[in-house]
A = this chain, B = another copy of it.
Amino acid sequence: MKSIDYVKVARGEKKADLVLKNCNVINVFNGQIEKGDIAISGGIIMGIGNYKGEVEFDVKGKYVAPGFIDGHVHIESSMLTPPQFAKIVMPKGTTTVVADPHEIANVSGIDGIKYMLESSKRVPLDVFVMIPSCVPATAFETSGHIITADDIDSLKDEKGILGLGEVMNYPGVIYGDKEMHKKINVMEHYVKDGHAPNVWDHELNAYCVTGIKTDHECTTVEELNEKVKRGMYIHLREGSATRNVSVLSKGVTNANSRRLLFCTDDKHPEDIKKEGHINYNIKLAIKNGVDPITAIQMATINTATCYNLERIGAIAPSYLADLVVFKSLTEIDVDLVFKKGYLVAKNNRALFEGKLLENESVMNTVNIKKEGLSFEIPLRQSKVNVIKLIENNVTTEHVIRDVKIENGLYVHDDSLDILKIAVVERHHKTGNVGLGFLEGYGLKNGAVAMTIAHDSHNLILIGDNDADMFTALEEIDRIQGGIVLVRNGEVVDSLQLEFGGIMTNKDVSVVESKIKNMDSILRDMGVNEKVDDPFLSLAFMSLPVIPEIKLTDKGLFDVASFKHISLEVDEGDA
């Protein structure tokens, strides 16, 4: 038995496989820092103290923390397959993620979820999966696949599955939607992630009475406090578009910190490379007054406890040797990362290859009905409902504007900051096209097309002229998904995302330089400098579960009343 070997090593009678000498060990159990060696055998921590190893590595007094855990992430938002994703997050100290493969599930269904589980096995990152609960996010859009309660039931006992992914359909939960409740009941004894922005009082009680356990949508300390009070674990999120750590850090106290976690949710690869991953959440929290060890607890043991991850999240005998080494307890700039005792990253570089899994079931997923397709918008009146982009936020504002009409059709007006936006159904060739107006983006003489469009990942297009929008659509169809930029009739750049139209096998450096180049082209084309990430912002314009107004392939959608509305303002609304 291995355990008999382990006690020998722990007792110091037998040499450990590896000993990290002279560590300043961060102890998440007592909140203290302990000087000593860490002995590792078989990928497991044998003991802390004074040890000898077959291999010894002098850490020279640097800090050693447990590997960081991202408590809620859509890997797909990195636009990278799980192996490529692992290569960029592990050098930042992330050794475990709780992933909700909700994006690929919208495109490829159960095959998509299985692809994420399978492809993750080829790299050292531990990827635990929550089964997406809302595919499609609503009935108001057309997704590639539907995940039913029966599908969830059939998946729940697969290795690597932890629970139910964020239950975004919070009105469905609170007001008793049967299929939603069926999914929750199927997962009764599993962890269930929540998503309930701005839900309070009796409605929050109703959401929580179903056993949903977490929330990552808090944007104020007041909301965080209210949800902690009702028993939720709260993720402090720092993604590319949603950045809540600085504000929420003010709400971290001795009394509530054990219920607080970190997550990234959606983060672009260039941001991960530039800022960091969960180590950045920790750093920001510390900058905003959180005690460094409390912040590290929020990135490790708290998350492990919330998700029932045994033997992860601490440096203690029997725990996995997932270790992060760094010099500064405020900067958390990671020097070395060990996963199950193996050195997997050094000086910001992964020491493993991102072995890729080609999988037909998640490729060639773009299927557009081009016959009869039109972006023309007939209008009987000039007063229209417009989606106003809120900078660096995935919520939008519902505004009413006067637009120009010629011959009964909307025409672009250069004096207004309003663009045409379209969502084209691209999974089943239905021919569905939703059309609307977007304010605050600022593009001129061209179009952008993307098959990343939350959550159904239809084709989202924006432009100031229909011809460029058509050109962009044709190119998307040719490359079978990705991001395409068209300027004055020409494709000026594109990034192919061959996995489901949302992820690529390419190395992050390729993606990064593409995104960088396309971003600078967009700025040159007039895109608002205040919009931090013009791709991510666009990708959320089609997500009908986030206030106030969005666009799906079925048309304009008002989140408050939870129904489609017409482009033209009704008499009553004006």
A60 in contact (CB, < 8 A): no
- By a CB distance below 8 angstroms, the chain B residues around A203 are 11
B318 contacts A185, CB within 8 Å?
A: no
A314→B230 CA distance, assembly (Å): 9
The answer to whether B181 and A3 touch across the interface, beta carbons within 8 angstroms, is yes
Which of A168-176, A370-378, A392-400 forms contacts with chain B? A168-176
Distance A209 CA – B14 CA, assembled complex (angstroms): 14
Contacts of A210 in B (CB 8 A): 3, 6-7, 318
Q: Which residues from chain B contact A154 at a C-beta distance below 8 Å?
A: none
> Is B255 a contact of A211 with CB atoms below 8 Å?
no
Residues of chain B within 8 A (CB-CB) of A208 are 10, 316-318
In the complex formed, the residue of B with least CB distance to A227 is B29
Contact between chains at A3 and B49 (CB < 8 Å) = no
Q: Are B209 and A30 in contact (CB under 8 A)?
A: no
CB-based contact A3/B317 at 8 Å = no
Report A9-33 residues with CB < 8 Å from chain B CB: 9-12, 27, 29-32
How far is the CB of A154 from the nearest CB of chain B, in Å? 19
Q: Is the CB of A205 within 8 A of B317?
A: yes
With A1-B185, A181-B4 as contacts: A231 and B176 at CB distance below 8 Å: no
Contact status A317-B185, CB under 8 Å: no
Judge whether A225 is part of the interface by a CB distance below 8 angstroms. yes
In the complex where A181-B4, A228-B29, A229-B29 touch, is A10 in contact with B318 (Cβ < 8 A)? no
Contact A46–B209 (Cβ < 8 Å): yes
Contact assessment for B181 and A1 in the assembled complex, using a CB-CB cutoff below 8 Å: yes
Q: Which residues does chain B contribute within 8 Å of A255, judged by CB atoms?
A: 30-32
A8 contacts which of B10, B11, B176, B201 (Cβ < 8 Å)? Answer: B176
State the CA gap A189–B308 with chains docked (Å): 11
Asked whether A206 and B4 contact (CB < 8 A) given A31-B256, A255-B31, A318-B231, the answer is no
Chain B CB within 8 A of A250 CB: no
Q: Is the CB of A4 within 8 A of B176?
A: yes
Q: CB < 8 Å: which of B44, B205, B253, B310 contacts A48?
A: B205
Residues in A lying within 8 Å of B, measured CB to CB: 1, 3-4, 6-12, 27, 29-32, 34, 39, 44-49, 173-176, 178, 181-182, 184-185, 189, 201-203, 205-211, 225, 228-231, 253-256, 258-259, 305, 308, 310-311, 314, 316-319
